[in-house]
Chain A
Amino acid sequence: MNRLTRENRDADRTQTEQLIAPPASVIEAGDGYTLELEMPGVTKDGLDISVENNELTIVGRRSLPKIEGQLIHHESRPGNFQRTFELDPSIDGDKISAKIEQGLVTLTLPKAEHVKPRKITVS
Chain B
Amino acid sequence: MSLIRYQAPELTPWSASDRWSTLRDELNSFFELPFRAGFARAGQLFTGWSPALDLYQNTDNIVAVVELPGMRREDIEISLHDGTLTISGERKHESTNGDKAERTERYVGSFRRSIALPTRVDANKVSATYRDGILTVTLPKAEEVKPKQIQVS
B-chain residues with CB within 8 Å of residue A68 when the two chains form the complex: 56, 58
A71 touches B98 (CB 8 A): no
B-chain residues with CB within 8 Å of residue A104 when the two chains form the complex: 69-70, 133
A75 touches B57 (CB 8 A): no
B55 touches A72 (CB 8 A): yes
Q: Flag whether B78 is at the interface (Cβ < 8 A).
A: no
| Distance of A116 from chain B, by nearest CB (Å) | 14
B-chain residues with CB within 8 Å of residue A39 when the two chains form the complex: 69, 133
Size bin of chain B's contact surface: 35 or more
- CB neighbors of A among B74-121 (8 A): 95-96, 98-107, 115, 118
A73-B54, A76-B65, A102-B69 as given contacts; A38 in contact with B133, CB under 8 Å: yes
Q: Flag whether B53 is at the interface (Cβ < 8 A).
A: yes
A76 touches B67 (CB 8 A): yes
Give B contacts to A, CB under 8 Å. Answer: 16, 21, 25, 28-29, 32, 37, 40, 52-59, 61, 63, 65, 67-72, 95-96, 98-107, 115, 118, 130-134, 136
